[in-house]
Amino acid sequence: MASLIACGIDCDVHPAVPHLTSLLPFLNDYWRDQVTTRGMVDLVSQSYPQNSPITARPDWRPETGKPGESLEAMQRHVLDPFQLKHAICNPLYGVQMVFSEDMQAAFCRALNDWLAKEWLDRDARLRGSIVIPTQSIEKAVAEIERCAQDKRFVQVLMLVMGDTPLGKRALWPIYEAAERLELPVGIHAGSAYHNPPTAVGWGSYHIEDYVGQAQAFQAQLTSLIVEGVFARYPRLKMVMLESGVSWIASYLWRLHKFWRGVRMETPWVDRAPLEIVRSNIRFSLQPFDAPPEPETLIRLFEHMQSDELVLFSTDYPHWQFDAQDALPEGLSPDLVRKIMIDNPHATYPRLT
């Protein structure tokens, strides 16, 4: 494996909300009452069943409780041994599955406040992502503006499978706010399950949902590019989190071919898709979904025609690699430095 270097940025770690009741101190009386009198249960997404092998590495799995719910464990497992300067916390609590915009807004606000108090306040290396209530664009923008006052929040977080394709114009006020406040928008694997998790319907298995994340990212990139998000918000950065990376180049070859063929349909797309990706889109390293041979890895990075696209991540506590082997074999020391330090700093202006 390529050697890690100190002072890296881990762009994707997942602190877990122990239970919905953990959010009660951050809810107002009305919502506290709703949660308790309606007997609401814990909001755990099917995307990551608690005991699924992919949800936690065996040696990162606690004896009790949810993987990722303990700060001390996160310090012991990643922050210390990887000698990280910062780690960006992306909570995957199931608030996106809620349909009511009022309830979702209350839960997102509570989740963000919980993250600041229980995590960011307790370890200066941690940074946060703002989880937003996408059932209401207005409320989502308000939540971004509220949290952005705390400079430890360094990005906005959305799921790759939501209610609508991410390029849709109705969502653009979110992107306007993010660009204005120097917040990249992180798009994380996972679904609100408001649509079937594949474009051909509901599969039978958890593994199918997980493999399908890559196709969801592909569809979202198409939407973001052809709707013209980056023509309108040229300084906006988007980070595909837990997306996989081996599909990027071949996907762009296809998009490029059709863009050349039918660009009259979306004339505002004034640059080739690959150029837009190079300037505005980044991808987290894990899960690194390529075979272990270094020669294949080298060709895949060659295909991307850029050493700026990939950002270091461990995806803690998800099980993507063993021991300290977060960096695949075959990366040059220069590329390791780009991935672990330079690229994340170039992406997240709020990291200092």
Partner 1 sequence: MNIQFRENQEAASPLTVKTAIADCDIHPARATRTELYPYLAKRWQHHLEVYGVHAYQGMMEGPPYPKAQPNASRRDAYPPEGGPQGSSLAFMQKQLLDPNNVQLGVLNPLNTGQGIRNHELSAALCSAINDWQIDKWTSKDKRLKASIVVGNEDGLSAAAEIRERAGDKNFVQVLLLSRNVEPLGQRRYWPIYQAAEEADLPVGVHAFGFGGNPITPSGWPSYYIEEMVGHSQCQQSALASLVLEGVFERFPKLKMVMIEAGFGWASSLCWRLDKAWQRLRSEVPHVKRPPSEYIREQVWWTTQPMEDPERREDLFDVIKWIGWDRLLFATDYPHWDYDEPSRVLPAGVSEANREAFYLGNAKKLYGIN
Within residues 269-328, the interface with partner 1 by CB under 8 A covers: 274, 287, 289-291, 296, 299, 302-303, 305, 319
Sole window of 16-24, 117-125, 144-152, 258-266 interacting with partner 1 (rule: CB under 8 A)? 258-266
Q: Which class for 58: exposed (0-12), middle (13-18), buried (19 or more C-beta within 10 A)?
A: exposed
Q: Which is nearer to partner 1, 30 or 258 (CB)?
A: 258
Binding pattern for the stretch 9-48 against partner 1, x by CB under 8 A and - elsewhere: ----------------------------------------
Considering only the C-alpha atoms of the chain, give the largest distance between any 2 of them, rounded to a whole number of Å.
59
Helix axes 172-180, 137-148, angle to 10 degrees: 10
Indicate whether 145 belongs to the interface with partner 1 (CB under 8 A): no
With beta carbons less than 8 A apart as the criterion, state whether 193 and 216 touch. Answer: no
CB of 302 to partner 1, least distance (A): 7
Sole window of 40-48, 83-91, 107-115, 156-164 interacting with partner 1 (rule: CB under 8 A)? 156-164
CB of 29 to partner 1, least distance (A): 35
CB of 234 to partner 1, least distance (A): 21
Query: Among residue numbers 216 through 255, which ones bind partner 1 (CB under 8 A)?
Result: 216, 218-220, 222-223, 226-227, 244, 246-247, 249-251, 253-255
313: Cβ–Cβ under 8 A, 6 or more apart, which residues? Answer: 10, 11, 12, 13, 241, 242, 284, 285, 286, 326
| Among positions 203, 231, 271, 335, the unique one binding partner 1 when judged by CB under 8 A | 203
Q: Which is nearer to partner 1, 130 or 255 (CB)?
A: 255
Q: How far, in whole angstroms, is CA 267 from its chain's centroid?
A: 30
- How far apart CA 111 and CA 120 sit, in angstroms, is 12
| Among positions 64, 200, 323, 352, the unique one binding partner 1 when judged by CB under 8 A | 200
Indicate whether 90 belongs to the interface with partner 1 (CB under 8 A): no
CB of 106 to partner 1, least distance (A): 24
Indicate whether 195 belongs to the interface with partner 1 (CB under 8 A): yes
Helix axes 248-262, 206-227, angle to 10 degrees: 40
Q: Which is nearer to partner 1, 17 or 185 (CB)?
A: 185
List, in sequence order, the alpha helices (H) in the chain. 29-37, 71-74, 101-115, 137-148, 172-180, 206-227, 229-232, 248-262, 273-280, 294-304, 333-337, 343-347
CB of 266 to partner 1, least distance (A): 6
Q: Which helix (H) or strand (E) holds 281?
A: strand 281-284
CB of 256 to partner 1, least distance (A): 6
Sole window of 13-21, 140-148, 207-215, 325-333 interacting with partner 1 (rule: CB under 8 A)? 207-215
Indicate whether 215 belongs to the interface with partner 1 (CB under 8 A): yes
189: Cβ–Cβ under 8 A, 6 or more apart, which residues? Answer: 47, 159, 160, 210, 213, 216, 217, 241, 242, 243
Query: Among residue numbers 41 through 80, which ones bind partner 1 (CB under 8 A)?
Result: 52-54
Sole window of 6-14, 69-77, 118-126, 257-265 interacting with partner 1 (rule: CB under 8 A)? 257-265
**Taking Cα atoms as reference points, which of 191, 196, 190, 259 lies closest to residue 222?**
259
CB of 32 to partner 1, least distance (A): 32
| Among positions 7, 258, 294, 324, the unique one binding partner 1 when judged by CB under 8 A | 258
**Taking Cα atoms as reference points, which of 88, 98, 124 lies closest to residue 15?**
88
Q: Check the CA dihedral 227-229-234-238 and report its sign.
A: negative
With beta carbons less than 8 A apart as the criterion, state whether 161 and 195 touch. Answer: yes
CB of 83 to partner 1, least distance (A): 27
- How far apart CA 79 and CA 205 sit, in angstroms, is 33
How many residues of this chain bind partner 1 (CB under 8 A)? 71
- How far apart CA 343 and CA 345 sit, in angstroms, is 5
